[in-house]
Chain A
Amino acid sequence: MTRLPTFYENKQLVTPGDLLAEGNYVAGENAYNEDDKIYSTQLGLVDYEERKVHVVALRALYIPYIEDTVIGKVVDVGFSGWMLDINAPYLAMLRASDVLDRPFKPQKNDLSSIFNIGDLIIAKVVAYDRTRDPLLTVGEPSLGKITRGQIVEVTPTKIPRLIGRQGSMISMLKRETGCHITLGQNGLVLVSGKTLEDERLAIMAIHKIDQEAHTSGLTDRITKMILKEKGGVKHAQKDD
């Protein structure tokens, strides 16, 4: 069988409009088909599978998917629920009925006593299609209002890299910084540690992963960096 023409090597950098393949290919994520030609829609790394071409975007928006865990910020309180900024093109909605089902009866029409403007919430996307705003739930044990920690923003497409193969990256981060780290699919990460220094270290590591996600040997490099920073601090403390 003749090999169908592709124009880049696997994992090469491509930009919007780059012709990736010609012939009987299927356009996967961040690619589109026009007249049997597959083009990229994003800046990213091209990935060729058997018959499918997709692009792993380096800079992308967050598009909500059902079952995504997201970290959102309450920006409006209404009578029937709250509107949250989840770093997506649309504000997301959390219905009062989602929260009021639990054994807790707030004042009627005073939803701000539960969640107020400025509160950060870990939630899950339960519904989203392009005709209406995404719908959230906090009805699971790990979800709800965030009470401490700092928020870091990364490009949403880098979240898998933050997790690492079989969770290797995130477990290393948690272990070495002693911080609790919650990842939102929408690119928001919650870092909660015992001290501000611990949190700052974790945040520094997360920023570095965001910038170098497209390179190899990342887990080792980040581990080295964290140990170096921690060693530096320990040294300073010793001299006191």
Chain B
Amino acid sequence: MPRKTTKKLIDKNGIRADGRKPEELRPTKIEAGVIRNADGSAYIEQGKNKILAGVYGPKEVHPKHLTLLDRALLRCRYHMAPFSVEERKSPAPSRREQELSKVITWAIEPSIFLEQFPRTSIDVFIEVLQANGGTRCAGITAASVALADAGIPMRDLVTACAAGKVEGHLVLDLMDVEDKMGEADLPLALMPNLNAITLLQMDGGLTTDEFERVINLALTGCKQIHTLQKEALKARYIAVKKAVEKQ
């Protein structure tokens, strides 16, 4: 049963309900190679978000009639565990999960050299174990790391972050209560080295000027998360090297 909250989202000093400043990202940690069976995998914690991503492929397409003759078929599935939210969510895919699955697939597609694997499928599974706002962005971030972990050739990683407006302030990385009660939420995904935006959605109302500033805010968030993605991929190899050098 949800508890009601009537606290202000941003206090008079500009500090948010969880203690952050408006342009501050939630504490984020990313780990690659966490699911043994998957060809590639990653886990992300962002504030209270806990999300797993697993990749299978490229492999033969099932069902066969979906096969594309000139490239790989990318299928991303976004799914939430029943216990990931305050009120238990039925395991059956909701309309929201179906929409997000589609949007996430579009966000990631441009980054993969799909033409190198015609007649195959690449399946990406995003499982949200605990949710607190911004899960589609965190999911994309983890999925991209999982794809690199699988050794699938990519033009760039894809990094995602949301920004928006809450009680008049422009803020970065909205958590759930800010998304629900704020004025605008704008999730964005980016291929950082190519500076190409692959996902852009918005809920709420922003003036043109605010819109530009919010996008730039989201881009700075992406930059920070991108660094964490790279570190996550390199981490195992750096750790092994350090351990070996100690001997």
Contacts and interface: CB of A to CB of B under 8 A. Distances in A.
Q: Do A and B bind each other?
A: yes
Interface stretch (B23-31, B116-124, B163-171, B209-217): B116-124
Interface string B214-247: 0000000000000001100110011011001101
Contacts of A215: 240-241, 244-245
A16 B151 contact: no
A19 to B, nearest CB: 6
A59 B194 contact: no
Given A13-B237, A41-B113, A89-B117, A18 B151 contact: no
B181 to A, nearest CB: 36
B58 A211 contact: no
A189 B50 CA distance: 36
Contacts, number: 88
Nearest to A12: B234
Describe B's contact surface by its main secondary structure: mixed
A134 to B, nearest CB: 12
A57 interface: yes
A100 interface: no
Contacts of A211: 240
Contacts of B192: 17
A59 B150 contact: yes
A57 B149 CA distance: 10
B59 interface: yes
Contacts of A30: 153
Contacts of A155: 151
B151 A42 contact: yes
Contacts of A103: none
A43 B148 contact: yes
Given A16-B154, A57-B151, A61-B151, A39 B193 contact: yes
Given A13-B238, A16-B157, A41-B154, 10 more contacts: A13-B237, A17-B155, A17-B191, A39-B155, A39-B193, A42-B151, A43-B234, A211-B240, A214-B240, A215-B240
Interface of A: 13, 15-19, 30, 32, 34, 39, 41-43, 57-61, 89-91, 130-131, 155, 211-212, 214-215, 217, 221
